[in-house]
Structure 1
Amino acid sequence: MLRLYFFISLMCLVKSDPDETCPSFTRLSFHSAVVGTGLNVKLMLYTRKNRTCAQVINSTVFGNLNMTKKTTFIVHGFRPTGSPPVWMEDLVQGLLDVEDMNVVIVDWNRGATTVIYNHASSKTRKVANVLKEFIDQLLVKGASLDNIYIIGVSLGAHIAGFVGKMYNGQLGRITALGYREPLGNIDFYPNGGLDQPGCPKTILGGLKYFKCDHQRSVYLYLSSLRENCSITAYPCDSYRDYRNGKCVNCGIPQKESCPLLGYYADNWKEYLKQKNTPMTKAFFDTAEEKPYCIYHYFVDIITWNKNIRRGSITIKLKDKAGNITESKINHEPAIFQKYHQVSLLARFNQDLDKVATISLVFSTGSVIGPKYKLRVLRMKLRSLANPERPQLCRYDLVLMENIENVFQPILCPKLQM
């Protein structure tokens, strides 16, 4: 557990430019990053009444801020070039779309803009003190700590933590985007928490190589604000266990619901209280591109080979409209034994409502040597995202290694487990 120490430092908030009709995020140049900037903090309020034109607020001027509604602070991080975060506007509008709240951008770009990371990090506690002073005044005016929510990105996540400690953990909620070690009531690990799909793997990817993986957390959070993408996560001890399908009980009917990534993760806190679980890790996979959603299915296979077979399965789904989605289930070779059911967790980029055909490919991964057969007594496909959907089956298949077998599934008997 990190021990967070802080000191009291008084600081004035930046006043708005009287000639600026709609205040905007501070825009600086790379020259500013080289020579360094002194810290100033500007708070900009957006509400549904003024969602496109910010109001600069401070401890005495609150603009349209409604003390009875949730107040969400967005705190950015290190800005080595001085430019505004490209995701900021989308995050503000996304939050206002899902809930009628106060959204406050904490603009500390004069302080975060520097080529020396330690210079920016040394100012984070001072920014936290400014937020503490402002929140104190909200409380005086009748606001509730339960309605205070801080979203911190990178160094902004540290600032959020400092503020939370100042209130002895009584803030309504903190979301920290940009830290690997478990710190929260629930910690989400996309794709295991390391390299993200779609990000450059080498320095040849240019600047994107350095920021893509780190910045993905923000875009995953943004995806949770869109109606067409709800990313489900699965509580688990390790990414390996999740990939092997050992941690998806929360997606089965009559079990507890699975936590959702992002804005609606807060819906799971009551379950955590009931289980008296102080910290939970949750794992999930994503697609390479926006909106990043992955749809989970179980592929249950019972074989009747006399000898044990080890290998992987590739499954492809196609609907009547010709849409195709594919999953290579090759995290670890599966072990197929006679009359034993193997349940493989498949991940698809699309969720096809009505599957017309299914294809399976069995592979041992061997380049040379004999080709094997996998004799399938029964294959069953079941959706975790939509468990109410009919399960699809097929019986008596022979899969020749590395040869695609395409077939039309039939509905499984309802009493079949």
Structure 2
Amino acid sequence: MILLKYLALLLLTVQIHKAQGCDEFTDLAFGHAIIGTSMKTRLLLYTRENATCGTLMSHTDILNHPQFNLSRPTTFVIHGYRPTGTPPMWLGRIIDLLLARSDVNVIVVDWCHGATSLNYFRVVENTHKAAENLTAFVKKMQECGASMSSIYMIGVSLGAHISGFVGANMNGSIGRITALDPAGPMFRGTSPEMHLDPTDALFVDVLHTDMDALGYREPIGHIDFYPNGGTDQPGCPKTIFSGGSYFKCDHQRSVMLYLDSVSHTCDSKAYPCSSYKDFLDGNCMTCDRFGDLGCPVFGYNVTEWKDVLLKLGETKVFFSTNTVSPFCMTNYRVDMMIWNKDVRWGYITVKLHGDGKESVAKINHAASEFKKYTETTLLAQFDKDIRVVKKVSLNFSNGNIFTPRYKLRLLRIRLTNLDRQERPLCRYDILLEENKEVTFRPIPCEDSNF
């Protein structure tokens, strides 16, 4: 019954759109990927006045379009490879979220006819044709008085490079390009003019989520974000037996992360570091180079750091995510000191309790070393943000079932929230027995230096 109601509502929506004369994103059959399609680029405009009803833009009569207002900023959304010819599943949501955040012209660049083919090499060739078409439109906007600095391009996969080609054609005058996991195959190892690079816009921010397969590995923006190291994304299938999702989940996660940032669900702070391993090891927990702004936030709002990033030059930053939305995690610095006579190696799990919730951080990417009267510093990344921490739980394990059970005698532990300026929490003299959770109430630390 629910399915029938949904189908009826969907049919009604389609009929309303047809009655209103809405222009829809191209929807091709899989057969088109086999027989091929002729290249065609369509520009669909959405504004707050017609948020659910796209209208086709003309390259020659921009000023007379009833909804297009050149005094507004314009955001272009450019999709990537469409091997089956279907519209991107995220298209409607990104339009809604962008219009909710700002009163802009959202133009969806529909080059599905050029992106649908089993011959990927032909699709790559078509990216240049799509860019030529889009460049002609942007130049017409410029002739009609539009400010190039108010143009924002969001390119997904191959769409990221299309954005770069257009930006290069406009001599880097476009305001911003956001590249969501720019395509790697056929672009890796090429010269800068053959792929997106920082000179293609006044500001270029890049997200890498599948750099070891479908995405691009090297930094190619003013700031390059590498969530979860830029490779395997949490929650994505690990084996080929999961079907098509195994191949595309990591790649598509870039869009899901960006949508979270536009919806302002939560902020993912990213940390400059030489590698993801160093980041997880707790070696990169400061953002002094960004001054009072602190660590840059991934996604829609990263332009707040634009000026300092342009001065710093190429910047690689790392952060970790949850498996599902909200993807952002809460970061703490954990300082521990033991008074065991012998060195201990092991893994720590920390739980925060408060606000009627429990938040967990497993520090298990590598065994940590604990020495007597020596501070061990760890990065704890919690799956939820607990605003007021009432209790803390600790669990210690050495990960080896064949060795004797150890005890970790904590002289003190200190937890410092890296995402908010607040007084650190401490506790003194705690005995941890291996694989036995200990819960305690933390107290404000007595000093700032620990």
User: What is the distance in 1 between the residues matched to 2:229 and 2:18?
Assistant: 48
Identity %: 47
User: Which of 366, 373, 376 is equivalent to 2:400?
Assistant: 366
Cα gap change, 1:346 to 1:415, in 2 (>3 Å):
closer
1:397 match:
430
Residue 74 of structure 1: how far off its partner (Å): 0.6
Taking the aligned partners of 1:150 and 1:40, their CA distance within structure 2 comes to 19
Other-structure match for 1:189: 226
Aligned equivalent of 2:257: 220
Equivalent residue, structure 1, for 2:301: 264
Cα offset for 1:398?
1.2
Q: Distance in 2 between matches of 1:68 and 1:344?
A: 50
User: Residue 70 of structure 2: which of 50, 67, 71 is its match?
Assistant: 67
Please give the secondary structure, in 1, of the residue aligned with 2:262: coil
Match of 2:326 among 265, 287, 291: 291
How far apart, in 1, do the equivalents of 2:290 and 2:44 lie? Answer: 44
Q: Write the mapping of 1:141-290 to structure 2, written as runs, cut at 5 A.
A: 141-178=144-181, 179-250=216-287, 255-273=292-310, 276-290=311-325
Q: Is 1:94 aligned with 2:94? A: no
Residues 253 and 387 in structure 1, CA contact (< 8 A), matched pair in contact too? no
Structure 2 residue runs of 5 or longer lacking an equivalent are 1-16, 182-215
RMSD of aligned Cα (Å)? 1.9
Shift of 1:291: 2.0
Q: After superposing the two structures, state which structure 1 stretch, 276-285 or 185-194, moved more.
A: 276-285
Alignment-derived partner of residue 131 in structure 1: 134
Tell me the CA shift for residue 49 of structure 1: 1.8
- Aligned-partner SS, 1:169: coil
The alignment's TM-score, normalised by the length of structure 1, stands at: 0.91
Aligned 8 A contact 2:39 2:113 in 1: yes
Partners of 2:418 and 2:291 in 1: how far apart? 13
Asked if the contact 1:251–1:384 (Cα under 8 Å) also holds between the matched residues in 2, the reply is no
Residue range with higher mean Cα deviation, 184-193 or 229-238 = 229-238
Establish whether residue 310 from structure 1 lines up as the match of residue 313 from structure 2. Answer: no
In 2: Cα distance, 1:200 partner to 1:415 partner: 43
Q: Please give the secondary structure, in 1, of the residue aligned with 2:287.
A: helix
Q: CA deviation at 1:414?
A: 5.1
Instruction: State the SS of the aligned residue for 2:221.
Output: coil
Q: Which amino acid aligns with 1:86?
A: M
Structure 1 residues 55 and 195: alpha-carbon distance in aligned structure 2, compared to 1, 3 A threshold? same
Correspondence for 2:42: 42
3-state secondary structure, aligned to 1:122: helix
Q: Secondary structure at the match of 1:315?
A: strand
Shift of 1:346: 0.6
SS in 1 for 2:86: coil
Q: Which amino acid aligns with 1:311?
A: G
Aligned to 1:31: 31
Confirm or deny: 8 A CA contact 1:252 1:387 kept in the other structure. no
More helix by share: 2
Distance 1:90-1:126 versus aligned 2 partners, 3 A rule? same
Matches within 5 A, 1:10-21: 21=21
1:188 & 1:227 partners in 2: Cα distance? 18
Residue identity in the other structure for 1:97: A
Partner SS for 2:252: helix
SS of 1:49 mapped into structure 2: helix
- Report the residue type matching 1:370 in the other structure: P
Q: How many residues align?
A: 397
Amino acid at match of 2:317: A
Q: Paired residue for 1:4?
A: none
Listed as ranges, the gaps of 5+ residues in structure 1 are 1-16
The answer on 1:411 being equivalent to 2:414 is: no
Contact 2:410 2:429 in 1 (8 A): yes
